Structure 1
């Protein structure tokens, strides 16, 4: 992560100003930031974005940031194209270290293979300069929390609601290969 902010959300943390005990950060996106976020996400609108964060020093010149992101967004339903409002409430945590530092000591087994624990914490992200772009992390969290297939409550596919959709049992399901049956010779045609 570099010093240039590329996210539509503008929030940065000056690492040198962090006290030993850390500090709290309350963030609310402006209308302009919400509009830019909606445009970047390709959705109808972003009504609000708020975050309550706690930043603490990490090692010599890094930071550990944790908090909760709350947002209200409007997307089009994938079924009817009507607006669908989604409320997002996500917790996140990130650790940042100054670029160029070794962030992870890989575990190498006797065969020389690197062991990666999928359950372990994410490795620290790097930054340069004296500021960390927290807006980028908030935007990433918002992006990952969006419903990829938004639908209005009770909406289903094919003009039916989810409650009205027919049950699929073995008698009503038609095989996609059923149409090929007319092209195969029947057993009584004398072919072997």
Structure 2
């Protein structure tokens, strides 16, 4: 596909200043060409539908906070049989965009950045614009089943792992001396 690598497949840019003090709601629907391009990007068979509703509100001085919900129907290839596997996706998400957020490591410690229970650092708001379509595409990608499997699909017996040989039996309780090697095998 010959497309500009800097333009997302599903692009809906929005200027932060257009949100206003009361916020606003945006409804997005991907057209057939956008859905086909997203399917190619995600290496799946099809994106049959993709719609989202996003509530935007001002955040701090120049940022935007958004809360959204996307609904999509996609088809992926089964990881075992390659048969088509339809999937219905419904996801709610929240994101915050702030100018200067591309330098998040300067404001968040390493512990904060890698704390799974912690607050996510804000996404960068570059030139005062957030691409709502690309946000929705990212959330869809994160929500796809990584191992889609058709009902009844089983790995052929020739490709299944062999049963593991019986592990060596541990010596009876009290007879194993793990530090004996350090002492040259002597009992003390």
TM-score (norm 1): 0.72
1:111 corresponds in structure 2 to: none
Q: Which residue of 1 aligns with 2:128?
A: 130
Q: In structure 1, the residue corresponding to 2:36 is in which secondary structure?
A: helix
Go from structure 1 to structure 2 and tell me whether the alpha carbon gap of 1:124 and 1:33 turns closer, same or farther (over 3 Å shift).
same
2:116 corresponds to which residue? Answer: 118
Post-superposition Cα deviations, 1:61-90, rounded to whole Å, max 9, x if no partner, equal 110011111111111111211111111111
Aligned to 2:172: none
Show the counterpart of 1:97: 98
5+ long unaligned stretches in structure 1: 108-113, 160-171, 178-192
Question: Which position in structure 1 is the counterpart of 2:54?
Answer: 53
Counterparts in 2 of 1:129 and 1:174: CA distance versus 1, 3 Å? closer
Residue in structure 2 matched with residue 71 of structure 1 by the alignment = 72
Q: Give aligned pairs, total.
A: 157
Listed as ranges, the gaps of 5+ residues in structure 2 are 168-188
Cα distance, 1:141–1:101 mapped onto 2, change above 3 Å: closer
- 1:183 is aligned to none
Q: Residue 82 of structure 1 corresponds to which residue in structure 2?
A: 83
Where 1:78 maps in the other structure, the secondary structure is coil
SS in 1 for 2:75: strand
Give SS of 1:27's match: strand
Q: Equivalents in 2 of 1:17, 1:133: separation in Å?
A: 13
Q: Aligned pair 1:155/2:153, yes or no?
A: yes
Measured in 2, the distance between the counterparts of 1:100 and 1:42 equals 30
TM-score w.r.t. length of structure 2: 0.74
Secondary structure in structure 1 of the residue aligned to 2:85: strand
Higher relative contact order, chain-length normalized (CA < 8 Å, sep 6+): 1
Q: Deviations over 1:81-119 (max 9, x none)?
A: 111111111111110011378757446xxxxxx542431
Structure 1 match to 2:19: 18
Q: In 2 relative to 1, CA 121–6 (structure 1 residues): closer, same or farther, beyond 3 Å?
A: farther
